[in-house]
Chains A and B, each alone.
Chain A
Amino acid sequence: MNQGTEKTLAVSQTIEQRSDFLLHESQQAIYRRTDRMFAGLMLFQWVAAVVAAVVISPRAWAGTSSHIHLHVWAALLMGGALTLFPVSLAYFPPG
């Protein structure tokens, strides 16, 4: 192999590595953006669930006495539990 061919090979390898790097970077950027978008949607869904619970079934009744309906607590706490873990995953180790 002459010197010219070796140089061409080295250049093509560098281009390949660089293109792999750029592709990976671009993919990661898309993954991060998608993760953050879904994290936002999850948070919106949580807020919407709490609002729906408060509007539709705010209180459970027994005669004249009432207390906050289980649906409200479920929307707040269960919805929070369901939301926060995936949202944390999307924000802290995104992509």
Chain B
Amino acid sequence: MKIRKESGKRLWLVIGVFWLVAVGGGMVVLRNYENTSGAEGDPPTKWPVQSRIPRTTGLPTIVVMGHPKCPCTRATIGELAVMMARLHNRATAVVVFVRPHGTPDGWDDTDLRRSAAEIPGVTVMSDLDEVEVDRFNADVSGQTMLYNANGKLLYSGGITASRGHSGDNDGRSSIVSLVTDGTAKLTRTPVFGCALRTPKSLTGEKL
């Protein structure tokens, strides 16, 4: 009876060790996923003259490229709301939601888009056929750029600390600092979010 009880305890111990390893491994995978940034965008250093994104004369413009269905971008929109409250009329922002070729009307009419539209000082627009995304060389949802009143690029990157995580981060504080003081420690930060474009392997385009 005692031997049976002892071997039972040993079995639970072995299962416990495997459990710890499995859970620890899972945590590592999740952590890596959250902290792996997307491809860095390479936006033009001067505001592209062909761009249809609206700007307010005399004010810096913040441009956020977003995928309307990306759950991670919710954190970016939350950070944008905090940023706009801090900047208070010292900059305008435009959230450009990508609408790929062939998608039906209303494809980008999502809760995320409505949340962005509710932020004071923020304009929301659809980017049919990814024209602006191409113009600004953005790859990842959440890519944020700051152009000064003269159209010079001051900052490019993400405004979340990791994928889908709200809270203080370098991107947000850099933009606020650039608009209010004209300087910032960082002018580029990593971007975390879904890809804005359909992978070429799925569109049939040559890689």
Contact = CB atoms under 8 A, between A and B. Distances in A.
A and B pair up:
yes
Interface of A: 56-66, 69-71, 74, 77-78, 81-82, 85, 88-89, 93
A60 B30 contact: no
B195 interface: yes
Contact of A62 (B29, B103, B197): B197
B152 interface: no
Interface stretch (B8-16, B154-162, B172-180): B8-16
A65 B194 contact: no
Contacts of B120: none
B102 interface: yes
Given A74-B30, A77-B26, A64 B16 contact: no
A93 B33 CA distance: 36
A89 B12 contact: yes
12 contacts: A57-B71, A57-B164, A62-B196, A63-B67, A63-B196, A71-B71, A74-B30, A77-B26, A78-B27, A78-B30, A81-B26, A93-B8
B19 A65 contact: no
The 5 nearest A-B residue pairs measured at CB = A63-B198, A57-B71, A62-B195, A78-B26, A85-B19
Contact of B30 (A59, A62, A70): A70
B188 to A, nearest CB: 23
B22 interface: yes
B15 A85 contact: yes
A64 B26 contact: no
Interface of B: 8, 12, 15-16, 19, 22-23, 26-27, 29-30, 33, 67, 69-72, 98, 100, 102-103, 130, 141, 164, 194-199, 202-203
Contacts of B27: 78
Given A57-B164, A85-B15, A62 B22 contact: no
A61 B69 CA distance: 7
B70 A61 contact: yes
Given A70-B33, A78-B26, A81-B19, A63 B197 contact: yes
A64 B100 contact: yes
A71 to B, nearest CB: 8
A82 B27 CA distance: 11
